[in-house]
Amino acid sequence: MSSTLRLSCLAILFCTTLARDASFLVQQLNSVSDTHTSVMGGALNTCSKPGMALTGFTRDGHCQEVGGDDAGSHHICIQMKPDFCTVTGQPDWCSEKAGCMGQSGECPIGNWCVCQWAFARYIEMAGGCDSIVDLVCDATNMAAFTAYKTSTEPSHKVALACIQKKCGL
């Protein structure tokens, strides 16, 4: 094989490998950026507001996961109502207080990052999308929208439709 042909083959192999690796990195960046993007398409805003309990899986106020540790995917920001725990069959943590955003002490739960399965169950058990609390769309994570969109679970399709309706998508 001539040296020119060998160099051409190496260049093609290098470019093919580089393109494959670049594609993988873009996919990884897109999945990471989803965790910092709201369903409205902009930056993910804080779910907690001053005077409210600090929410988020890492208690930083955002409905995002860090490092894939959030098995419940707490991506949905809702204006919490006391019936959420009852309707979804959870212990009553909804009426408890927790550390405040922007101040010392404990504050009541106002807006809260709830997990995707609980949100879907809430819609189902509360009687549909029109019967549930309000979403905070600019603080609801695009990762939830993506997960519901790719899921085959009927309750997840209902949850997706509810997000679309409540957020005007």
Close Cβ partners of 48 (under 8 Å, ≥ 6 residues apart)? 54, 55, 56, 61, 101, 110, 111
Please report the pLDDT score of residue 151 as a whole number.
Answer: 94
Closest CA to 56 of 34, 92, 48, 142: 48
* pLDDT for the residue 69: 67
What pLDDT score does 43 carry?
Answer: 95
Which token pair is 165? 């309706």
Angle CA 104–109–115, to nearest 5: 120
Query: pLDDT at position 25, please?
Result: 30
Q: What is the pLDDT of residue 104?
A: 84
Q: What is the pLDDT of residue 99?
A: 83
Residues in the chain: 169
**Widest pairwise Cα distance in the chain:** 77
As a whole number of Å, the CA-based R_g of the chain is 21
Q: What is the pLDDT of residue 9?
A: 40
Per-residue pLDDT of the chain (169 residues; tens, 9 = 90+): 554 444 344 334 333 333 333 333 333 334 444 568 999 999 999 999 998 988 888 888 999 877 666 677 899 999 988 788 899 998 888 888 888 887 888 888 899 999 999 999 999 999 999 988 889 999 999 999 999 999 999 999 999 999 999 999 9
Q: Domain spans of the chain?
A: 1-34, 38-167
Q: Does domain 38-167 have CATH number 3.30.56.110?
A: yes
The reported pTM is 0.75
